[in-house]
Amino acid sequence: MKRNCMKNGVAMVAMAAAALAGGAVWAAENVTAKEAEAMVKKGVAYVKANGKEKAYAEITNTKGQFVDRDLFLSVVQFDGKVLAHGANEKLVGKMLIDIKDIDGKEFLRERIELAKSKPVLWQDYKFSNPLTKKIEPKTAYCERVDDTILCGGVFKK
């Protein structure tokens, strides 16, 4: 009897470990462009429903509803000031209009110029992946919200 209980206990631990390992595999899956687009639309709706102050705080919350694996949202004004950033709250309040990616592309300046003429856009650049801590190619889906741009991107693997 005691032996069966021990076997069952070991089996339960093994199943729990397998379930956790399965979750870790799921967490490592790449975010899709469709998921990024949906997250941005959710963020835009949240800004409109809750106001900028509450929305920007939630977008900047690294454990909040706008962070999923390597997907996070950011909000930038047309002058280049970061209003919210789901991967690095230290960027909030910074003027980054002149920021360049590793290839020298002024991606934020480009994004702002594109957003002035397009309410919705996709943009390619390179950025630090919050999971791998490496600079990787990325494509971002962005929507203009008044004089800001709300974006979420997909790291290309």
Q: What would the pLDDT profile of 98-153 be if each residue is shown by its tens digit?
A: 999 999 999 999 999 999 999 999 999 999 888 899 999 999 999 999 999 999 99
Confidence band (pLDDT; 50, 70, 90) for 1? Answer: low
For residues 91 and 96, give the distance between their C-alpha atoms in angstroms, rounded to a whole number.
9
Return the closest-CA partner of residue 40 out of 144, 156, 157: 144
90 with 149, same domain?
Answer: yes
Mean pLDDT confidence for 25-45: 84
Is residue 68 over pLDDT 60? yes
Domain encompassing residue 119: 31-155
pLDDT of residue 14: 32
pLDDT of residue 77: 98
40 with 23, same domain?
Answer: no
15 with 46, same domain?
Answer: no
21 with 88, same domain?
Answer: no
pLDDT of residue 112: 97
10 with 82, same domain?
Answer: no
80 with 121, same domain?
Answer: yes
43 with 65, same domain?
Answer: yes
44 with 120, same domain?
Answer: yes
pTM of the model: 0.80
Is residue 60 over pLDDT 50? yes
48 with 124, same domain?
Answer: yes
For residues 58 and 138, give the distance between their C-alpha atoms in angstroms, rounded to a whole number.
23
pLDDT of residue 83: 98
| CATH number of the domain encompassing residue 38 | 3.30.450.20
12 with 43, same domain?
Answer: no
* Residues 66/86, Cβ–Cβ less than 8 Å: yes
115 with 104, same domain?
Answer: yes
Number of domains in the chain: 2
78 with 139, same domain?
Answer: yes
